[in-house]
Amino acid sequence: MDTRQQRKKEVSSDEWYTPKWIIDSLGPFDCDPCTPIVPPYPIAPLTYNKKQDGLAHAWHGMVWMNPPYSRELLRKFCERMAKHGNGIALLVNRQDNLLWQEIIFPTATSMIFMRHRIKFIRPDGTSGSPFFGSCLVAWGHECDQRLRNCGIEGKYVVLNE
């Protein structure tokens, strides 16, 4: 497989911001531990950006998480969300990897395999889609209900009741 395109700076960056329509469909949220330094719009009253290190602070209430996709940080944030147990994460659609097998599948309540690739917001305000699809993953009963009823196109799947 040719992975050269995935090494491009704009693809490998952790700076891919969630489109507002996703938050409007799923929110409101209490905490966003992975917010951009200059967010394009507010997601939650409590936010932490990479300078503040969302892993070093307490999370409370319903969490929204569009984590950095670099391997080490992605795993740490997903482990933290699994422990918190109340939130929704926007993740890469790669269920065959260890993160999904060891963390997501055993702990998450439900998920949506999104029908279309997301047009993320870049730091310069433009939008673009990465070379992979996305999933929305819920932990906890209320987040599961939001996911089930959000109207976002895709396949809803129950993982753990």
What is the average pLDDT across 132-148? 94
Residues in the chain: 161
Element housing 106 (H / E): helix 105-107
Q: Choose between 133 and 86: higher pLDDT.
A: 86
Q: Which residues contact 23 (CB under 8 A, 6 or more apart)?
A: 29, 41, 43, 64
pLDDT digit string, tens, across residues 101-124: 999 999 999 999 999 878 766 767
Reported as a single tens digit per residue, the pLDDT across 17-66 is 888 999 999 999 999 999 998 888 999 999 999 999 999 999 999 999 99
CA 146, chain centre distance (Å): 15
SS3 category, 35: coil
- Rounded Cα distance between 53 and 59, Å, is 12
pLDDT, position 70: 84
Predicted confidence at residue 149, as pLDDT, reads: 97
Residues of the chain with pLDDT > 90, as a percent, come to 67
120, 78 contact by CB (below 8 A): no
Rounded Cα–Cα distance for residues 146 and 99 (Å): 24
Q: pLDDT-derived band of residue 72, with 50, 70 and 90 as boundaries?
A: confident
